[in-house]
């Protein structure tokens, strides 16, 4: 009996060591996965150069000889994934082609569509400057955020984090000083939270938008409909124009959450396109300067940061 027990002991020890190794490896793998999945804010940033281009001071500007209207758009691209579940950036490119400035939401960084952020791939396809403004880092890279494409000179841009009280996800806005027809157009691009932080973020974004010298544009998925009291109050009192919605019936809540708001730019035409390239519509507007508008310079607004 004792001899049989003695014979089994080495094998039992090996099994225990093997199991202990598996458990230890499981803990290590779990720790790595937890660390990689952890979301971290990217924080603020600024610059004077967009990718694929040189500084705005080195770009030619024809001033008044430029086209009399500006074509702008906002698109939550859902990471390039359409309603059919297929990720196809060429469908996104087909919609935004020909616009002078496009604000993008739910842009993925490197990893989803290759070694570069999705906005870089779109910029090369469209022969436009681009900027990726990640809101958070995850899986050891800039994971998710906003972006922009443009063929216009940009004298400066700022990436501004928005309040996040839950730390489950992070949001930001991008502020561009865009040069067009001898004017500086202040353009904000943002994507707000759907839940607890939405109202706080909305208040901050609208306050900055109202403080900027016109002409100014606000583009993005606000996750907010016209019925929201904060947005409704802003549209009623600020003088800002909803470029996409029906001007004849400003009280009509159509459930839309993607917006283009204007201060100091007049609407020539606008629209909303649903074609399945994303789970959001593509919203666009053609705008022009009024006959007379005060000059706005980038340095006038830098003090408001």
Q: Per residue in 27-62, pLDDT tens?
A: 554 443 344 345 677 789 999 989 876 444 445 455
Round to whole Å and give the CA distance between 160 and 175: 8
- According to DSSP, the residues that pair with 187 across neighbouring strands are 176, 217
Residue 167 clears pLDDT 90, i.e. is over it:
no
pLDDT, tens digit (0-9, with 9 covering 90-100), for 92-136: 999 999 999 999 999 998 766 567 899 999 999 999 999 999 998
pLDDT of res. 51? 86
Which pLDDT score, from 0 to 100, does residue 140 have?
A: 47
Mean pLDDT over 163-180 rounds to: 89
Nearest Cα residue to 275 out of 80, 78, 82 = 82
Q: What percent of the chain has pLDDT over 70?
A: 72
pLDDT grade for 10, boundaries at 50, 70 and 90: low
Give the separation between CA 294 and CA 298, rounded to whole angstroms.
Answer: 13
pLDDT tens-digit readout, 215-232: 999 999 999 999 999 999
Which residues lie closer than 8 Å to 41 by C-beta, 6 or more apart? 135, 136, 137, 161, 164, 170
Q: What is the mean pLDDT of residues 73-78?
A: 97
Please state, in angstroms and rounded to a whole number, the distance separating the CA atoms of residues 36 and 139: 4
On average, the pLDDT of the chain sits at 83
pLDDT value of residue 141: 60
pLDDT of residue 62: 52
pTM: 0.81
Average pLDDT score over residue span 77-87 = 94
pLDDT of 186: 98
Q: What percent of the chain shows pLDDT beyond 90? A: 62
């Amino acid at each position: 009996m004792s001899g049989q027990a003695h014979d089994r002991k080495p094998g039992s020890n090996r099994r225990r060591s093997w199991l202990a190794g598996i458990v230890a490896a499981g803990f290590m793998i779990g720790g790595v996965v937890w660390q990689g999945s952890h979301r971290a804010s990217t924080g603020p940033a600024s610059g004077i150069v967009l990718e694929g281009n040189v500084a705005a001071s080195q770009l030619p500007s024809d001033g008044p000889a430029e086209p009399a209207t500006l074509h702008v758009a906002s698109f939550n691209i859902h990471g390039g994934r359409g309603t059919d579940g297929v990720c196809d950036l060429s469908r996104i490119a087909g919609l935004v082609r020909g616009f002078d400035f496009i604000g993008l939401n739910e842009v993925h960084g490197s990893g989803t569509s290759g070694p570069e952020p999705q906005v870089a791939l779109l910029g090369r396809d469209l022969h436009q400057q681009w900027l990726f403004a990640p809101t958070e880092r995850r899986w050891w890279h800039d994971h998710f955020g906003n972006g922009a494409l443009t063929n216009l000179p940009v004298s400066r841009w700022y990436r501004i984090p928005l309040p996040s009280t839950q730390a489950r996800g992070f949001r930001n806005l991008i502020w561009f000083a865009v040069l067009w027809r001898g004017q500086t157009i202040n353009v904000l691009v943002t994507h707000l939270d759907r839940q607890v932080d939405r109202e706080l973020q909305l208040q901050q974004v609208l306050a900055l938008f109202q403080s900027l010298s016109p002409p100014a544009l606000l583009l993005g998925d606000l996750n907010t409909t016209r019925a929201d009291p904060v947005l409704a109050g802003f549209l009623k009192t600020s003088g800002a124009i909803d470029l996409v919605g029906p001007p004849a019936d400003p009280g009509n809540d159509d459930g839309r959450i993607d917006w283009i708001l204007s201060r100091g730019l007049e609407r020539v035409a606008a629209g909303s396109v649903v074609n399945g390239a994303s789970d959001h519509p593509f919203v666009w507007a053609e705008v022009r300067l009024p006959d007379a508008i005060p000059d706005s310079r980038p340095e006038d607004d830098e003090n408001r940061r």
